[in-house]
Structure 1
Amino acid sequence: MFTRLSGKILAALLGAVSLSLGLGAVASRAAEDAVVIPAPAIDEAGKSGIETAVFAGGCFWGVQGVFQHVKSVKSAVSGYAGGEAATAQYETVSTGTTGHAESVKVTFDPRQVTYGKLLQVFFSVAHNPTQLNFQGPDQGTQYRSALFISDPEQRRVAEAYVAQLDKAHVFKQPIVTKITDYTGFYPAEQYHQDFLTLNPTYPYIAYNDLPKIKNLKQIFPADYRQEPVLVLKAKG
């Protein structure tokens, strides 16, 4: 199973080496299978304007990549949430001692795509919400499943949906996703942004994350868009 490298080694590797894999065999295997789940029975209603939501579900590369392919998402930025600004750096967060989780901040228009729909995608294809403090090969509290809630309506929808899914036993194990108040989000280093799109042949991406994009397209065809909304393109 492919694991991630430290930030310094990864940056050097990406700058010096162009990896080329036979993706047909590798990308067809996913560390975690998607689960088809029902839509939330309770969702936001009547919201207008631009909304943000922060999701944590293992390595932020794959979570960001999934949300960047969801229609009507305005942006999806990889970063850190749950800890202090002073410790929001990759090498420090990777120690598992900062309180941060690798997270993705999603900006969206709730009139076009609801928070409930984003939760459905998150629980179904973006990660496995039954794994406590790990996702696939990644171990530690920085890889925990968590929702950082921006307002009471998001909390109402999230808590109701977790209860709905657990009651329906759609997963083999109970959902362990932490629902906690938003206290701040700190964007990750530039080399982490758009990582899935920019490095599709990187072994970790090919094995763990490209299947998530395939599952998104298959399970949510009406919500899938071929061209992702990229952070670096938006800045440019």
Structure 2
Amino acid sequence: MNTRLTSLPVASRRTLLQTLAGGSVLLGGGLLWQRLALSAEEAVRIPAPALDLPAGGQAPQRAIFAGGCFWGVQGVYQHVKGVLRAVSGYSGGAATTASYEQVSRGNTGHAESVEVTFDPAQVSYGALLQIFFSVVHDPTQLNRQGPDTGTQYRSAIFATSPAQLKMAQAYVAQLDAAHVYPKPIVTRLEDRAGFYPAETYHQDFMTENPGNPYIAFNDLPKVENLRRLFPDRYRREPVLVKQSHS
């Protein structure tokens, strides 16, 4: 049984039930519970990177982000224009331990991650970073996000090129210098990490399970924050992993 289905604290579940009583509205292909933002973590308005990687006239590129449970990270990036594919998986450890059962123990070195394949002519790496630090998660929480704790839920960027690593380092320094958060950024910047796709039942989990309490409370508000803070980058219909295989 997936532990996330019953992982909400009692107080959180109570708040969720009060929120759900307010009704529901449609968002994309799923159900967004009305007034859910009242109990969700607030997104942070942050400046765009001062420097960005070149855009246009390039082949699709890859970026790997870890920001807590991969259901929400994947769900957000699936709604970003220019993202061609977003796959939940594991990064930071060995191929032999890249399974949900093993990673959940917290001792494999892996983080739940999402590999984002994107068209740099439509969305830049810098824009993906801005969404990561603003909407996807709280980069000041060490080894936890929401109800999930452990190094497998750490905030991390797995650079796929020296240019990505350099840019991520510069952006973290920029945000820290601007004091946009009340606490320091703890995001780990890692490179040379492999990426191993997660099990099929984890893919497109947000879209397929909008009524799941964990999704409704922790993740659907992130998609709404994306729409609200980045309207020019938001797309209503998500790009799904399973559709790309059909």
Stretch of structure 1 that moved more, 159-168 or 31-40: 31-40
CA contact (8 A) 2:76 2:222 kept: yes
The question of 1:41 aligning with 2:46 is answered: no
The answer to whether the 8 A contact 2:79-2:235 is kept is yes
CA distance in 2, matches of 1:176, 1:28: 25
For structure 1, the residue ranges without an aligned partner over 5 or more in a row are 7-19
The answer as to whether partners of 2:110 and 2:152 remain within 8 angstroms in 1 is yes
Q: After TM superposition, give the deviation of residue 183 of structure 1 in Å.
A: 2.0
Q: 2:55–2:124: 8 Å Cα contact kept in structure 1?
A: no
Residue 94 of structure 2 aligns with which residue? 84
Aligned residue pairs, count: 221
Which structure 2 residue ranges, 5 or more long, are not aligned?
Answer: 7-19, 25-32
When residues 232 and 217 of structure 1 are mapped into structure 2, their CA distance, relative to the original with a 3 A threshold, is same
One of 115, 136, 161 as aligned partner of 1:151:
161
Q: Per-residue deviation at 1:104?
A: 0.1
Q: Does 1:93 align with 2:94?
A: no
Q: Is the 8 A contact 1:77 1:231 kept in 2?
A: yes
Kept in 2, the 8 Å contact 1:52–1:108? The answer is yes
Aligned to 1:4: 4
- Whether contact under 8 Å (1:73, 1:109) holds in the other structure is yes
Note if contact 2:73-2:114 (Cα within 8 Å) is conserved in structure 1. yes
Question: What is aligned with 1:61?
Answer: 71
1:170 equivalenced with 2:180 (yes/no): yes
Q: Which residue number corresponds to residue 149 of structure 2?
A: 139
TM-score for the superposition, normalised by structure 2: 0.86
Does the residue aligned with 2:167 lie in a helix, a strand or coil?
Answer: helix
Q: Is the 8 A contact 1:56 1:104 kept in 2?
A: yes
Residue in 1 that maps onto 2:233 = 223
Q: Is the 8 A contact 2:50 2:171 kept in 1?
A: yes
RMSD of the TM alignment (CA)?
1.6
1:91 Cα offset (Å): 1.1
More deviation, 98-107/46-55: 46-55
Is 1:70 paired with 2:80? Answer: yes
Code of the residue aligned with 1:111 in structure 2: it is A
Query: Is 1:123 the counterpart of 2:133 in the alignment?
Result: yes
Distance in 2 between the 1:105 and 1:29 partners?
30
Larger relative contact order (C-alpha < 8 A, sep ≥ 6)? 1
2:213 is aligned, of 180, 203, 218, to 203
User: Is residue 46–residue 130 contact of structure 2 (8 Å, CA) maintained in 1?
Assistant: yes
Question: Which residue, 212, 215, 230 being the options, matches 2:222?
Answer: 212
Q: Counterpart amino acid of 2:44?
A: V
Distance 1:60 1:119, change over 3 A: same
Once the two structures are superposed, the pairs formed by residues 189-200 of structure 1 within 5 Å of their partners are 189-200=199-210
CA distance in 2, matches of 1:46, 1:198: 33
* 2:54 maps to amino acid: A
Query: TM-score scaled by structure 1?
Result: 0.90
Greater Cα offset, 141-150 or 175-184: 175-184
